[in-house]
Amino acid sequence: MPIETIMVVGAGQMGSGIAQVAAQSGHSVILHDIKAELAERGRAAIEQRLSRYVEKEKMSGEEKAGVLSRLRLSTELEHVRQADIVIEAVTEKMEVKADLFRRLDEMAPTEVILASNTSSLPITEIAAETGRPDRVIGMHFMNPVPVMKLVEIIRGLATSDGVSREVENLARAMGKTPVEVKDFPGFVSNRVLMPMINEAIYTVYEGVATPEAVDEVMKLGMHHPMGPIQLADFIGLDTCLYIMETLYEGFGDPKYRPCPLLRQYVKAGWLGRKTGRGFYAYD
């Protein structure tokens, strides 16, 4: 059966982005969060982005209205019964995701696919919380979702070939390029990216260079569009720390040890752009 209705659980930056591209691709979307104001905030972010497209003449007003008409908000997890697939985009903590997948498994019809947007946690472990491990898969979108083309597709040990094909086809229908990777900590994207960010923070910690200098070196010398320190602020320093801890715990290799300065900033509440202060200050 073709996937027609997508439920996105979590209306934050990632969830609202996933909901947007799903609705833009013609799918019916249920955007869920635990509080109505959080779901409304997610919808407002989508409408704001679409309005910019209209202003830049990348989309007509009618197209914008069509996208928003395919989007409905929810605070009831039971709405999973109306979906063909659920894409989870909640906090990057195993205990939170495990509890959510147990509840989704209890409520969703047996044919519903349960996908996680996790950036580093093991899909096999998440799938083990359900009675349908063959229908659980990782679908890791990149941030910002409306712009970035990549989706990492991560199969758990029990994920079926059919589910993998369905999810890859869905990613293509959403205008993305799916790339299948193995179920290892950090997959490919964050296993490569996060140690680079962590090492960049170490150069600041050890007094080798300022954050501005580190970013300039990587932008001008390596042609990166954004420096690693600036990117860490954009991602969220708490998220960076959590992924580094996942890599460190998963591999037991000291090369993944989080920088003490990263820990200090997170404990101080300096999480980056979202809190107005990280390695840089934001208005």
Residues at the binding site are 10-15, 33, 92, 97, 119, 143, 274
117 is catalytic: no
Structure confidence by residue, pLDDT tens digits, 90-121: 998 899 999 999 999 999 999 999 999 999 99
Find the catalytic residue in 119, 120, 166, 168: 119
Mean pLDDT (whole number) for 227-244: 95
Distance between CA atoms of 5 and 27, rounded to whole angstroms?
6
Find the catalytic residue in 152, 166, 168, 198: 152
Q: What angle do CA 62, 64, 70 make, to 5 degrees?
A: 105
Find the catalytic residue in 117, 140, 166, 168: 140
Structure confidence by residue, pLDDT tens digits, 213-229: 999 999 999 999 999 99
Structure confidence by residue, pLDDT tens digits, 157-174: 999 999 999 999 999 999
Domains and CATH numbers, the chain: 5-182 (3.40.50.720), 190-273 (1.10.1040.10)
Structure confidence by residue, pLDDT tens digits, 182-193: 999 999 999 999
Name the pTM for this structure.
Answer: 0.91
Q: How far apart are the first and last CA of the chain?
A: 48
Is the confidence at residue 200, as pLDDT, over 90? yes
Distance between CA atoms of 49 and 17, rounded to whole angstroms?
9
Distance between CA atoms of 48 and 207, rounded to whole angstroms?
41
119 is catalytic: yes
Residues at the binding site for NAD(+) are 10-15, 33, 92, 97, 119, 143, 274
